[in-house]
Structure 1
Amino acid sequence: MDIEFHLLAISEKETHLKESKTSFSIIYEHFRKFLYNVIIKNIHYKSHKEEFAKTILNEVFCYVWNNPLAWEFNQKKHKSPDSGFKAYLSTIAYYKTLEYLRANESYLKNEMPKVDDVNNDWLFNLEANEYETLESELQKKNNVLDGILANLEPKKQDIVRVYFQLYEGGKKMRSENIKLMESMFNTTWDNIRQIISRVKKQIKEAAKKTTKIQ
């Protein structure tokens, strides 16, 4: 894609608006996914993360629309116009993100951890022994686990399944897996631990009942 050509076309929006919009759409579609991922990785707040990222994304492209000739390819710094323009957009995004978060600082300081409601499984108090290894028992308890999962809402079922897929017996959950689960389910690690704690207790209780019957 000839980025410089499209930026030049955007700069002529006062006389050739249709062509300018076409060039802007081409640039937007080509870079928006990349830029969205850059922005969302730099937003560490849990609530409204996607909303904030989309707002900042729009602000970056508004800047490009209003200042199309502010960038030019520098062969000494970048291998290609594509990589150079990505670096340029990332720099704008960085400062736009800081600016946006500062503007919302008072609101974000009062951010509360996400929970579904005041009476759900997330709020179950954790105990120190809740993170003992259950992996050695899970193969024998698949039917028990399936029965427990059937009584959970779909989101919580998925959380439990992913947790046991990522968990390594006898070890603490890796930090990258914690971040992955937080991102996948758009919630906090404390919330995830709460639901896992409740399910583990249910597994233990069901296993005890099965043993007594036998």
Structure 2
Amino acid sequence: MEESPLFLAARESASGTRAPIKTVLRDHRKPVLIAALANVGGKATYYTFSIFLISYLTQIVHLPKNTVLSAVIIASVCQVVAIPTGGLLADRFGRRPCTIVVAVLIAVWALVGLPLVDDGRFAVVTFVIVVGLALHGLITGAQSATIVGGSLAPVVGVALLHRFPSTVPAALFLCATIVCTVVAFLWAGETRHRDLRDISTRYPGGM
């Protein structure tokens, strides 16, 4: 797969830079911070409704691992459909409003949906994970991907699980990451109508 002309031009202009990461962190701290905060909630959503729930359902609810993995596979199919759907909605209505709306829905579902898995029935567990990963797909489609921050969700979740055998602490942690995402998108500008070729080399203050 060939790189885009914009990327090739940017790489050519930066070819003489000896420490590009240092330049980014020195001159573009604000966009780096916004990008990290903007994506932490979405990525934490994925890890909570997949990796964390696999541990929780097998260790606390005592469901067979194959049963839980089947639920995650079904949910992943819905997630695949939701990702381009989220992109289409963001192109039409804007990244910021779409992301904020889905982020609020994720926070609500974390508090309402996660405790339902204690029921232990396959249909209920599958429904909870399907909704969670579908919401993750929608928020992912509306923004670029980064793994820094969100990947800590299963680590934190499992650590909480050892101390509190409940989904509530994990749900509250997920809500905290969602707050980061909402704050970042309120802080950032809208990019729906922006051409990448018109963006200056220095960050103008929006996303």
Whichever of the two has the greater Rg, that structure is: 1
More helix by share: 2
- TM bracket (short chain): under 0.3
TM-score by length of 1: 0.25
Structure with higher RCO (Cα < 8 A, 6+ apart): 2
TM-score (norm 2): 0.26
